[in-house]
Amino acid sequence: MRIIAVMNQKGGVGKTTTAVNLGHGLALQGKRVLAVDLDPQGHMTTSLRAAQSKINLDAVLHGDARISEATMSVRQGLDLIAPGARLNEVDGLSSGGAARGWLLRDVLRQVSGYDFVIIDCPPSSGLLGMNALLATEELLIPVSGDYLALAGLSRLMSILKTLEAKTERTTLKSILLTRFHKRRRHAQEVHKKIRDYFPGQLLQTCISEAVALAESPSFGKTIFEYKLGSGSAEEYQALTMDIINQQVPANEKR
């Protein structure tokens, strides 16, 4: 089972859009997928037109329920765990010491029967973000095609380098260029800088800026349901195949 955290501390980079469409794209390829909405705002849950259930991720992380009790089916091959109203309280936990960072990793060890777990992370570096980092060996980092996003990427990579040194773990980091305008010189310059600064980590697939991607969540649909024949659907299909074909580093478990 591969666990992939979709993460970026900067908002507006297409993080949830990518998590939702990658999750559904994998399911359409016959994979069994569990989507975990780790963002208290619940945008992934809303985008899939799912409702919060009586038992959600907040109850699981607080130790009040098992992860199987919080899991609901939202598409064929795609299950979801919604965040719950108390998820933001996890960032305020003061007891538990270092174990607080491993809560998500520990509950995901209860999961079986899935090929992929896709985690939609909050746009912050708090305890929830730390739980995502420690639960996965793969990070998918959406970065919009502008210089401010490039600066944010550099900070995130620095944080990840420090964390890896402390935990003696290796994380596969894949950078996905989003909201891309291939005809604009500025976007091409950002693309080149990312490729030069982070060699071997920038995915070949880019996700273009598109109205359909902005509209589809309001209908509770993925891009494959909203506009299957669109360029955006083709790009997320290509991203899905990029992820399926990736090689994952082997790590010793804590």
The CATH class for the domain spanning 2-244 reads: alpha beta
37 neighbors 57 (Cβ within 8 angstroms): yes
Model confidence pLDDT, tens digit, residues 56-93:
999 999 899 999 999 999 999 999 999 998 998 886 66
As a whole number of angstroms, the distance between CA 176 and CA 96 comes to: 35
Q: What is the pTM of this model?
A: 0.91
207 neighbors 182 (Cβ within 8 angstroms): no
Model confidence pLDDT, tens digit, residues 113-170:
999 999 999 987 688 988 999 999 899 999 987 777 777 788 888 888 888 888 778 8
Determine the longest span between alpha carbons in the chain, in angstroms. Answer: 52
